Structure 1
């Protein structure tokens, strides 16, 4: 067996192991909580659901959509982080640094202030609009040069827009006395995810992930510089714009479902590079599974710290992410 075949075999085994760990963690999260559910009853709830059985209802109506929602959010955030690092060539980038999360959060703050009776769908729409405005402004600002939207200009524009939108969100929260509501979204949580939300979000999510995989090879080419990409027949500006739209969709979806969760998009792609390297055709699937595993685990940990009271899982992720961020910063963004 040659070196390349051996490496592919190792990557395949690592990917299967990650999927197995994710499935185990999902089962643990579904069966444990304020009320522990024996594995036998959990199995019965899937195979022989009884609407009159209270434990079956707990699993089907509360825990299963919550765990699936956590996996969806984790996948979205990790993939957006990998894509953001690819198009900006900034190892510390994620959708938060690009200002997209701040745009989505501003949209939610505006909906709380001016549309107090808005339902979930209206909040979701305004969140996407906020993220879209953020992407538009970032590209407008970063493209005002002969070189176009270069990685460094994208990063700087994103940081500036993020700071501006966060300030506006805080002003709205203070002016309209919404600090408690905004704090919930800023800390993140998946406790209120329902089947209706998942039925709406899942098709959008799957299409965006499929498109991310489609553009993965193009993002890999950007690592070698714009000149190399052009020589290979690629259009760097078009790739960055298209991928930014995918980041907008995935991050807007995540913020609308679970609030603004930091560090997942930063942590997971770097960890997964240990298995997948810099080939985005492999890094995106690895990041997707790794992100789901991290958020499902963080949500379970947050629930079990002080039951029956819950700690926002965004706090748990931040406790992991802040030291990791400092370590990456000291290493210059390189784990090697």
Structure 2
């Protein structure tokens, strides 16, 4: 009688569950950090603003250059907080859906798909309004996510974390090549697109933030509703199904929320990397792996990271600015390497 040897799964170093007071403490600390970086974003820039002028500008006092600077920075701060929260939350959801510690909107090709859709819209359909960018970017992100999942599901074994990561990396490279192919013959489109492609929140205004807010709210709601289901999916599809979980529905809802968040954030601020990749890992070290705590923590820490990076980009090159996408790339790469080496994460 032949015995089939089942493959032995390698041991995985999972973050330990944290006691409730520790988790609550980190959430409160993250909320405080959000308030502090928001205040710093309003106060610091090419021109430093004293705190009395900050208060006057926030309250709508039209007098003085300082108050005018504050009023200009408030929409920028709001957009940075929203985009950072969306990218952090989207990264945590995508890692939970795919059970892949390397999943994020950039590596899975979602951000590149959104960027390609925006480029095609600008080049061939004459899109110019931010509202049009949002719809086109979300459609491109959804198509890219479906394509990556279809490629990663092909063959034996279905959609494994490794196959999804490889499919996402290959698709992202292909989308980037297509973007270059569309842009190179069109200098006018390249001038319009290149500043958006770097990733930044410098051109934010109240109308732009209001346009993207409903999409981010719906995406966040879908992601948070899926938190309990993602905890069950983390045990494996067979175990989750045995416990009565609807694995397919959970993955569909969570993936829809993650794609909506990533697409809307990309439309508003351009493709910004490393936030969705590094933030969930950091939050697992702080609050543990349970998604009902991980998802809110990832949103808060993502908002802190992106807003702090935007403030740093304004300060290091006065009177010019360094776009936030460049700052997050410079800061995110070494932080992510440190997190992976410290926690030795191989799978979720």
TM-score over 0.5 for the pair: yes
Look up the match of 2:118. 108
1-side partners of 2:165 and 2:240: how far apart? 20
1:165 equivalenced with 2:190 (yes/no): no
Instruction: Please name the residue that 2:283 is paired with.
Output: 272
- 1:250-280 Cα deviation digits (max 9, x unpaired): 0011111111000001111111111211101
- For normalisation by structure 1, the TM-score amounts to 0.90
Q: Distance in 1 between matches of 2:253 and 2:26?
A: 30
1:71 aligned to which of 71, 81, 102: 81
Task: Say yes or no: does 1:255 pair with 2:270.
Answer: no
Instruction: Give the Å deviation of 1:84.
Output: 1.2
Partner SS state of residue 175, structure 1: coil
Query: Which residue, 138, 142, 153 being the options, matches 1:132?
Result: 142
Structure 1 residue 88, shift from structure 2 partner: 1.5
Q: Contact conserved, 1:149 with 1:237, CA < 8 A, in 2?
A: no
The corresponding residue for 1:285 is 296
Contact 2:84 2:275 in 1 (8 A): yes
Return the alpha-carbon distance in structure 1 between the equivalents of residues 18 and 143 of structure 2. 46
Inter-CA distance 203–45: structure 2 relative to 1 (3 Å threshold):
same
Find the aligned partners of 2:50 and 2:63 in 1 and give their Cα distance: 17
Whether the 8 Å CA contact 2:218–2:257 is kept in 1: the answer is no
Q: What are the ranges of 5 or more consecutive residues in structure 2 without an aligned counterpart?
A: 1-16
Q: Is the 8 A contact 1:148 1:237 kept in 2?
A: no
Contact residue 142 and residue 149 of structure 1 kept, 8 A: yes
Mapped contact 2:81–2:303 kept (Cα < 8 A) = yes
Q: How does 1:45-64 map to 2 (within 5 A)?
A: 45-47=57-59, 49-60=60-71, 62-64=72-74
**Normalised TM-score (structure 2):** 0.88
1:217 and 2:235 aligned: no
**1:127/1:256 contact within 8 Å kept:** yes
Q: Which residue of 1 aligns with 2:211?
A: 200
Cross-structure match for 2:14: none
Which residue pairs with 1:96 in the alignment? 106
Residues 139 and 67 of structure 1, relative CA distance in 2, 3 Å threshold: same
